[in-house]
Amino acid sequence: MRAPKRAATTLGKRADVRYVEENGRMETFAQTLQWSVDRVDADRTSADGTGADIAIVDTGIDSDRSDLEQNLGEGVAVVPCSDESYCNGCKVPWDDDSGHGTQLATLVGAVDNYEGTVGVAPGATLHAVKVFGADGSGSYSDIAAGLETVADKGWDVANMSFGGSYSSTLYDAIRYADDEGVTLVGAVGNSGSCTDCVSYPAKFGEVIAVSATNRNDSLAYFSATGPEVELAAPGTDIYFESCDASDGYQSLSGTSYAAAHVSGGAGILRAQGYTSDGARTRLRDTAEDLGLSSNEQGYGLLDVAAAA
C-alpha cells in the first residue's frame, strides 16, 4: 500500500499491527564466476593478463557482447562470417556465426562487469581469428593461414579448440608460430574413453595438449588421453550466456573449454614477461597433481594463482 510517512508511523504504533516497513526491492544474482575458473584459482591472483594478446583461432567472436567488447582487439577473417541470421549477425567479417569461438573467448577473458561471466584473464586483449564457417568446420589451409597471421601479428597465445588428423600444411604453420614465439594451446579431443587418441594439432609437440576434468577432479568421461597430454583443466558443466539473453544460460562440456582455461593462464604469464617456453615450463611446474595418470592429467591441473 502507499501511505505518507506520518501515516505509516502512526499505523506502526497500533497494537494490532506487527510492523510497518518500506516495500523495497531485491535483484537476482548475476553469474560472474564459473566454478571452473574458481577451481583453477584464477580469482585468487591480481594478475589478469593485461598486456597479453590472445588469439581465439575458431569460429569468430561475437563483436556485440557486453562482457567481451571491452577487450576485443583486432579480428582476422580467413573465413568471413556468412550466417546473418545467427545471433547478432555479421557486423564485422570475423563475427561468430556458430557460437563456439565466443564461448571460448568468454572463458579466456570475459571482463568483470557484472554481466555474463568472468574469464581467466579478464585484462587480456582477445583477437578473433575466424578460420571456421557456420558449420564449425574448416580446411587445413585456412587454419594454417590463421596461425601464420597470429605469428606475423606477434600475438602471445593461440587457443586451438579443434582437432582432426595429421596435416603437413598445418604442421608447417604450427612450427612457424612456435618459432615466432606464440604459445600454442590445444584441446586433446572428445573421443574418450581411449588410451592413446589425442587429436591434432594438440598431438604436435609444439602444442600444450589439454585434457578435461570434472567437478570431482576426475577425468571427464569424454576426454581423450595419451602421452601428449601436458595439462588438465575443467571441461564440464561450463555455463554460457545464450545468444538470446532472454534464453538465459546453457551448460556445455568439452575439452575445448579445458583448453581455453589454459590459454587464459598462459596469457597471464606472457603479460608478465615470460617467453613462450618460459610460460609453458611455469604452467607445468605449478600444476596441481590430481593423482591421475600422466596420460590423463600430464603434469596436473592448471593452477593460475600458483603460476602467477
**Distance from C-alpha of 275 to C-alpha of 12, rounded to nearest angstrom:** 69
Catalytic residue among 161, 199, 211, 256: 256
Residue recorded with cell 597430454: 229
Counting other chains too, the contacts that 242-246 makes at CB distance below 8 Å and 24 or more residues apart are 243/62, 243/86, 243/87, 243/88, 243/99
Q: Does the annotation mark 16 as catalytic?
A: no
**Distance from C-alpha of 242 to C-alpha of 62, rounded to nearest angstrom:** 12
Listed in sequence order, the residues at least 6 apart from 12 whose beta carbon sits closer than 8 Å to its beta carbon are 19, 20
Give the number of residues written for the chain.
308
Catalytic residue among 100, 199, 253, 303: 100
**Distance from C-alpha of 204 to C-alpha of 293, rounded to nearest angstrom:** 20
Contact 120, 109 (CB under 8 A): yes
Q: Does the annotation mark 100 as catalytic?
A: yes
Q: Does the annotation mark 127 as catalytic?
A: no
Specify the DSSP element, H or E, that contains 130: strand 125-130
Q: Which residues pair with 33 in a beta bridge?
A: 118
Parallel/antiparallel/unpaired status of strands 53-58 and 157-160: parallel
- Report which of 307, 46, 51 is spatially closest to residue 156, judged by C-alpha positions: 51
**Distance from C-alpha of 296 to C-alpha of 276, rounded to nearest angstrom:** 23
Catalytic residue among 58, 96, 178, 303: 58
> 213 — phi, psi (to 5°)?
-115, 170
**Distance from C-alpha of 288 to C-alpha of 58, rounded to nearest angstrom:** 28
Distances, alpha carbon 31 to alpha carbons 140, 147, 151, 196, 234, in Å: 37, 33, 35, 37, 18
- Residues involved in catalysis: 58, 100, 256
